[in-house]
Structure 1
Amino acid sequence: MHRVKRIAAIVMTVIMLAAAAGTVMANNLNDQLESVQKRMQDQQSRASQAQKQVNSVSGQLKKIQGDLDGATAEYSTIQSKLTYTEEKIEQNTEILAKAETNLTERSKVLNKRMRDIYQNGQVSYLDVLLGASDFTDFTTRMDILKRVVNQDITLITKVKAERELILQKKAELERDRAAIEQLHAAANEKRLAIAARKNEREAVLASAVNERDTAEQAYQELLETSRQIEQLIRNSQSGKGGSTSGTGIMAWPAAGPITSPFGWRTHPIFGTQRFHSGIDIGADYGDIVSAADGGVVIYSDWMGGYGKAIIIDHGGGISTLYAHNSELLVGEGERVRKGQAITRAGSTGYSTGPHLHFEVRENGSPVSPMGYLP
């Protein structure tokens, strides 16, 4: 009996120990689970925060390009003010020179008049009048005296006015010269800002070209942008009627040579294969880029690694894309004709020098432009 009780006690102890161990294990598992969940939440929070803070290569270039465009526009404004002020100085200088010439001539006449009075003595106007022999002579002398007096008054007034004009113009010139110095300083400051932005842009691009990870990121972004373009074009073309202003025969959008063809090419540093969805046409900054065919502009804005870009829908599933521009001359929804100026060539986005990236797409997918160009 005692033996049975001992066995029962042992069993109860084991059960209690097992329950306690289970509780501890459960608590440990719960703690671990909560710890893992907390770490996951922290990681998600960190990833979300990082996603907000991280700028893609395209985002960096867009910001830098915006700052560069702003600095360039301010510099152009300052240059316009500078030109206007310099023209104003030139005009005031001419007026001042003419006024000084007039003052010199009138001063000579006035000085001669003063010398004559000094040498001959001051003649009493009353003596001149009383010396008249008759009334007619009196009237004549009165008229002559009036003319002399008026001439003296006019001469003195003009000399005084010329002197005041000279003083005024000299003061204006001093103000203009001070303004010129300020404008020169402001222009120099903007030039330095532009140079700094260009250096920053070149540094980002150098990183994109020479660092494998950044280059791969840039390439993947371009692929994603290309897919977005494809979807954008398909969405734009869906539901449209058959009306089109395209001729089906395209003209060259720029006059330069092809610097990079359509299709697969090898990365110059890493040796990896890269797909080039269009052709690059050589162009200088500011060169006019023309519409390859008539159509409707369905996109006109910054487009990731493509920089400032335009897409034209020509109808019949055909569209063209023009990228890396410095300036966009037409907006979304505008109908353009073949050969119309639509952009100015540049080097925005993933570009190491000014050129035009030109694409032809059939139903959104890139095809060789050479099949459409003469």
Structure 2
Amino acid sequence: MHQTYRRLIALTLCAGLITTAFSTQSEKLWQVSYADTTVSSDDQAQIDDLNNQYEELEEHQKEIQAQIDAAKSEKDKYLAEKNQLNGQIDNTQAQINVLTDKITLLDNMIAENNASIADLEEEIDKDYEIFRQRARASYMSGDSSTISLLLGADSFSDFLMKADITARVAENDREIIAGLEANIAELEKLQEENEANKADLNESKGTLDEKKQQLNGQVSQIQGQIEDIDALQKQYEANKAEIDKMMAQVQSEINDIYASYESQGEYTGGVMTWPVPGYTGITSYYGWRFNNTDFHTGIDISGSNIYGQNIVAAADGVVIKAQETYVQGVGYGRYLIIDHGGNISTLYGHTSQLLVSEGDHVTRGQAIAKVGSTGWSTGPHLHFEVRENGTAVNPLSGYLKP
């Protein structure tokens, strides 16, 4: 359509049909500014930033795989896969999040461009109708040359007045044409941007589908596993001093969290809701374990295909800690702490995903996280603690019933 407009404008200009009698319509210009119609630099910067994030995550994924491939024996490879699998899952999930954000942004950019294109096309139609009427009026009125003005004027002052009107009309006509040209050029630019964004969108959606399949494959590798207490004991006995030091540091951090928070209200929860619905198997109980060398501050709940299952709040409360970052092989991994009032709190460790944030009010039975194997863990499970005044107590002594 706009190519046709360009040709008609050019033909009209060549015919000299725009320097004619006065028309009030020519004074109205329909222009849409560059800032109103183009994708903002902020949007493009976000796209560039998301692309960079994705590339960094892709490089990290290759590094993780390289560590697995570098293992010499099958046993070493199995252990490497077990240790790195959570990192792979987290990394793939992060890539999925980045791609999802990018797709949303591209969808918005395309929608904004479509709206701007519709507005421009409407303005071009209006401008062209004004231009067409002006050209027709010019043709019907005949040539308005300087000689015609001079011969048709009653006096020299009359000639000057007509010449001034003609000059003003010609300038308005030139502005109409300039506006049409600018809007048509802008329309073509937006259409080109949309085609590029649509191509990027389709590619990103394809990559997203691949990453989701990759994530499903990674998760399926550990769906049938449960926490391996024998392996955990062997790790502990082989690295007791290092693990004891590590756990002392973790407990110190947990104690600092409790020391800095004042419990709100009274505890009215009674017997708590079991934190992993449908999974009652306990692989490690509260108290001393590993030949009385390690004190376990909670209970571990596990079972086949538990990975990714919902963890629910044991009672109403407020999230006082939502720890997203962690070092694989260290401490509770990704965990939550919820205050239930009366200085009673619960801790949920080794999760694969948190569904709530610090400060959120949660209700009994509400999904708050997903079972995982982050931190010091040998398989998917939930480490669940109950604390009174910040001190861990046996969850099965009055708070929980399997």
TM-score (norm. length: structure 1): 0.57
1:139 Cα deviation from its structure 2 partner: 3.3
Q: Give 1:189's aligned residue.
A: 210
Instruction: Give the Cα–Cα distance (whole angstroms) in 1 for the partners of residues 280 and 248 of structure 2.
Output: 23
For residue 112 of structure 1, the aligned residue among 129, 133, 154 is 133
> Are 1:346 and 2:370 an aligned pair?
yes
- CA gap of 1:356–1:235, structure 2 versus 1, over 3 A, is closer
> Are 1:83 and 2:109 an aligned pair?
no
Contact 2:131 2:177 in 1 (8 A): yes
Q: Give 2:398's aligned residue.
A: 371
- CA gap of 1:311–1:111, structure 2 versus 1, over 3 A, is closer
> Are 1:103 and 2:124 an aligned pair?
yes
> Are 1:175 and 2:193 an aligned pair?
no
For residue 94 of structure 1, the aligned residue among 98, 115, 131 is 115
How do residues 35-184 of structure 1 correspond to structure 2 at under 5 angstroms?
A: 53=76, 55-56=78-79, 60-184=81-205
Instruction: Give the Cα–Cα distance (whole angstroms) in 1 for the partners of residues 347 and 212 of structure 2.
Output: 32
> Are 1:325 and 2:325 an aligned pair?
no
The aligned amino acid for 2:398 is G
Larger Rg: 1
1:65 Cα deviation from its structure 2 partner: 1.8
Tell me whether 100-109 or 286-295 shows the greater mean CA deviation. 286-295
Please report the RMSD computed on the Cα atoms of aligned residues, expressed in angstroms.
Answer: 5.6
Instruction: Give the Cα–Cα distance (whole angstroms) in 2 for the partners of residues 85 and 92 of structure 1.
Output: 10
The aligned amino acid for 2:370 is G
Contact 1:277 1:366 in 2 (8 A): yes
Contact 1:323 1:358 in 2 (8 A): yes
Instruction: Give the Cα–Cα distance (whole angstroms) in 2 for the partners of residues 164 and 109 of structure 1.
Output: 19
Instruction: Give the Cα–Cα distance (whole angstroms) in 1 for the partners of residues 397 and 334 of structure 2.
Output: 23
Count of matched residue positions in the alignment of Structure 1 and Structure 2: 296
- CA gap of 1:122–1:289, structure 2 versus 1, over 3 A, is farther
User: What is the aligned-residue identity percentage?
Assistant: 22
Q: Deviations over 1:65-85 (max 9, x none)?
A: 211111111111111111111
TM-score (norm. length: structure 2): 0.54
Unaligned ranges ≥5, structure 1? 1-48, 266-274, 313-317, 331-335
The aligned amino acid for 1:323 is G
Instruction: Give the Cα–Cα distance (whole angstroms) in 2 for the partners of residues 279 and 161 of structure 1.
Output: 68
Instruction: Give the Cα–Cα distance (whole angstroms) in 2 for the partners of residues 323 and 295 of structure 1.
Output: 14
Contact 1:319 1:364 in 2 (8 A): no
- CA gap of 1:229–1:81, structure 2 versus 1, over 3 A, is same
1:88 Cα deviation from its structure 2 partner: 0.8
Provide the secondary structure at the position in 1 that maps to 2:371: coil
